[in-house]
Amino acid sequence: MRLGVLDVGSNTVHLLAVDAHRGARPLPAHSYKTELRLAELLDPEGAIGPDGVDRLVSTIADALQEAEDKGCEAVLPFATSAVREAGNADQVLARVKAETGIDLEVLTGDQEARLTFLAARRWYGWSAGRLLVLDIGGGSLEIAYGIDEEPAQAVSLPLGAGRLTAGWLPGDPPDAADVRALRRHVRAEIARTVGAFARIGEPDHVVATSKTFKQLARLAGAARSAEGPYVQRELRRPDLEEWVPRLAAMNAAQRAELPGVSEGRSGQLLAGALVAEGAMDLFGVDTLEICPWALREGVILRRLDQLAP
């Protein structure tokens, strides 16, 4: 069957169509993405403004039409932190339902972490042992750890690259004092969680998902995405530590000229790099591997698991 998963994230609205059935690996068939940056469309009270809601409804309608055109039998729609934390979330969801017919499921941060972990576990298999999974989104950072398909520990922190850029780095390029303040904030937030993970034991394998980690790995010399998902891509902490001050000295336009960095994400790459550096340092990670599967694949895998044999 062909399934569509509609991910309303803090940065993008992304429809991924896959050919899948229970017990088999989902095969990507079509991808449709629109950069909406919901995290940057919040008003001072934390609500999504009228223009933002209009754009969201229109973008979802376009994505649903795309799903129909590509033959999706069902669409699994979900939203993450930008909608979850909006002051007018209930009104936004009601309007999406009224105008598109879609019941947009709002995932909790814990669900995000657990579904991303499931995707990573299925990708690497049981031989990977104890997995530590890091995922930097536009609105939040998810961390999960465990040896099974359900993580033993999972947490979601308000450390998304888009959120932090909007709230902490107004300059372009950013002021050095703002960068230092954000670095302190990020590390303090992550440090509060480290003890709970440390009590479980050392991971056998550390992996990361998300566009932020992929771009940082590409800067550090990892293979281009065009070379396919089966090429191993790694990010070393020493390489990341070299890149952070370089990114801090650039404006968004200069970052967009770097290999693997898109114009739409260039403005928030520094904040994402500070989160990645802080997480790797505080968790004692020297090298991590980039996992091709993430939250969207986790949503699909969970749905397939629920189908009757």
- Band (274; pLDDT cuts 50, 70, 90): very high
Judge if pTM exceeds 0.85.
Answer: yes
DSSP type of residue 140: -
Cα(145)–Cα(161) distance, integer angstroms: 22
Given a cut of 70, whether residue 308 has pLDDT beyond it is no
Angstrom distance (rounded) from CA 268 to CA 162: 6
- Name residue 255's amino acid: R
On the CB side of 179, CA atoms within 13 Å amount to 19
Residue 21 has pLDDT above 90, yes or no: no
Query: Which of 20-29, 143-152, 298-307: highest mean pLDDT?
Result: 143-152
Confidence check: pLDDT of 38 > 90:
no
Q: Which of 287, 234, 9 is nearest to 140 (CA)?
A: 9
pLDDT, tens digit (0-9, with 9 covering 90-100), for 96-129: 999 999 999 999 999 999 999 999 999 999 999 9
**In whole numbers, what is the pLDDT of the chain averaged over residues?**
95
Q: How far apart are CA 268 and CA 252, in angstroms?
A: 8
Query: What's the average model confidence in pLDDT over 2-18?
Result: 95
Strands (E), the chain: 2-8, 12-19, 27-35, 74-79, 105-106, 131-136, 141-146, 153-157, 205-209, 234-236, 287-290
Look at residue 224 and tell me whether its pLDDT is greater than 70: yes
Bridge-based pairing of strands 205-209 and 131-136 is parallel
As a whole number of angstroms, the distance between CA 213 and CA 115 comes to 18
pLDDT digits (tens, 9 = 90+) for 173-221: 999 999 999 999 999 999 999 999 999 999 999 999 999 999 999 999 9
Q: Give the least confident one: 29-33, 43-47, 50-54, 247-251.
A: 43-47
Q: Which domains does the chain have, with CATH numbers?
A: 2-106 (3.30.420.40), 124-295 (3.30.420.150)
Q: In which band, very low, low, confident or very high, does the pLDDT at 45 lie, cut at 50, 70 and 90?
A: confident
pLDDT of residue 24: 84
pLDDT at 309 over 70: no
* C-alpha distances in Å from residue 118, one per residue of 68, 126, 279, 305: 28, 12, 20, 11
